A and B are shown apart, each in its own frame.
Chain A
């Protein structure tokens, strides 16, 4: 039974069967809302699906040797880990089965970004290498804040288990942690103020520059799945506990949708920052939130 539940979570909800259409839907919401904020009509509803199918039908340049195999492997690893991260989200009240903890979820969320870095260097393009270097610097700068915020959330509830964290009521302390996580999301999803690694005008879309056809389709899909996983993580931390499973799924989707709209508005309203400004922003300004959250969480824990 427990294996069946785990499989159902990975394959149906919130796993592949839900996550892939949700990824396309969120990608569409992002493009559409940016278009509407700019006074345009924007792409049709099925656009990310059209793009995905079209990319599957395109040729890839011939690549031989280890580099060629690696370039086919990186996007697949990114997609599978992103699906795994979505599948771990404690959306429904569990009835046994495999319960990962927060540490596993964070590791799975981080793998796509590492794949992007590796992919840029594997492609041996100068633009890819610059993009990868930027992605690495970005990852170092936001992850300090992101991990501190996650630790503060976990420390305030005395547990790393996702189930317990999702069920615990949201305290004011937790909101500070959630706020810090939200500030990190644009960098994690490469959205506009922090869209340095995939800057199209400066470095020809960075690490993705050499990828074409099905490989690029997988990168697009993994980007969409990262959207689902990252917004879903915040949604599960915010969502109140529901008795009925259908209702909790609905609240999860609605909250994720709200966060996508929020992030898209931010992306539409801002321009790209330089790399040094980004690092300064995270290490000097945002880290205050995270340190405040984690220190007060530890203090509360010592007192109790």
Chain B
């Protein structure tokens, strides 16, 4: 059983499947996520796959400052991702709502609505920072999976990637 847990931990770390969720982003970070999969950065070396359905994903990558329209969608999609799961907030917008702070159309930041594990700051962050954030999220995911599939992340687990 212990061996199986170790194998599972190893496999979780080496096979993070992403679902990309745009919560009102300007598309800057979205382009950088796609750039992380291109030949220059090639995130598939880490086993990263961008999935079409949140049901298949392990890591939810959220971009954008969370508009009021997007709150319901974010909660739904977060619920649709099956545990163990992790959330990566990509860019400065989901972390702080960035330059859109105090806008009446926003209901951010992201951590108000769902637990966030890794923040990747930047406007937009570089693809290598995004890949590092995903790798850290995969490690958190692997550690979390063996404790409890549905455990919410503690605040001290939150990691910030240096851009």
Is the pair A54, B8 in contact by a Cβ cutoff of 8 Å?
A: yes
Chain A, interface residues (CB within 8 Å), range = 35 or more
Is the pair A216, B56 in contact by a Cβ cutoff of 8 Å?
A: yes
Complexed CA–CA distance, A57 and B145 (Å):
8
Tell me whether B11 is interfacial, beta carbon within 8 Å: yes
The contact of B15 among A35, A50, A204, by CB within 8 Å, is A50
Identity of the chain A residue whose Cβ is nearest the Cβ of B48 in the assembled complex: A43
Complexed CA–CA distance, A31 and B48 (Å):
12
Per-residue 0/1 for A116-153: is the Cβ within 8 Å of any B Cβ (1 yes, 0 no)?
00000000000100000000000000000000000000
Is the pair B82, A53 in contact by a Cβ cutoff of 8 Å?
A: no
Q: Given the known A-B contacts A41-B45, A53-B8, are A210 and B39 also in contact in the complex, defined by CB atoms under 8 Å?
A: no
A106 shortest CB reach to chain B, Å: 30
Tell me whether A111 is interfacial, beta carbon within 8 Å: no
The contact of B53 among A40, A49, A204, by CB within 8 Å, is A204
B44 surroundings in chain A (CB, below 8 A)? 31, 35, 40-43
Tell me whether B42 is interfacial, beta carbon within 8 Å: yes
Is the pair A209, B55 in contact by a Cβ cutoff of 8 Å?
A: yes
Tell me whether B149 is interfacial, beta carbon within 8 Å: yes
Q: Is the interface of A mostly helix, strand, loop or mixed?
A: loop
Tell me whether A2 is interfacial, beta carbon within 8 Å: no
Interface residues of B in 10-58 (CB under 8 A from A): 10-12, 14-15, 17, 38-39, 42, 44-45, 47, 49-53, 55-56, 58
Q: Most chain-A CB neighbours within 10 Å: which of B7, B39, B44?
A: B44
The contact of B12 among A43, A54, A210, by CB within 8 Å, is A54
Tell me whether A58 is interfacial, beta carbon within 8 Å: yes
Is the pair B45, A211 in contact by a Cβ cutoff of 8 Å?
A: no
Complexed CA–CA distance, A127 and B53 (Å):
10
Is the pair A58, B83 in contact by a Cβ cutoff of 8 Å?
A: yes
Tell me whether A246 is interfacial, beta carbon within 8 Å: no
21 contacts across the A-B interface (CB closer than 8 A)? A35-B42, A39-B39, A41-B44, A42-B42, A47-B14, A47-B47, A49-B11, A50-B10, A50-B11, A50-B14, A50-B15, A58-B82, A59-B82, A59-B84, A59-B150, A60-B82, A61-B55, A205-B56, A208-B53, A209-B55, A210-B55
Apart from the given pairs A31-B44, A54-B8, 14 other A-B contacts in the complex at a CB distance below 8 Å:
A35-B44, A40-B38, A43-B45, A44-B45, A50-B11, A50-B15, A51-B17, A54-B15, A58-B82, A58-B84, A200-B50, A200-B51, A205-B56, A208-B56
Pairs of residues from A and B, 9 with the lowest C-beta to C-beta distance, nearest first: A200-B52, A205-B52, A53-B11, A212-B55, A39-B39, A204-B52, A40-B42, A50-B15, A54-B11
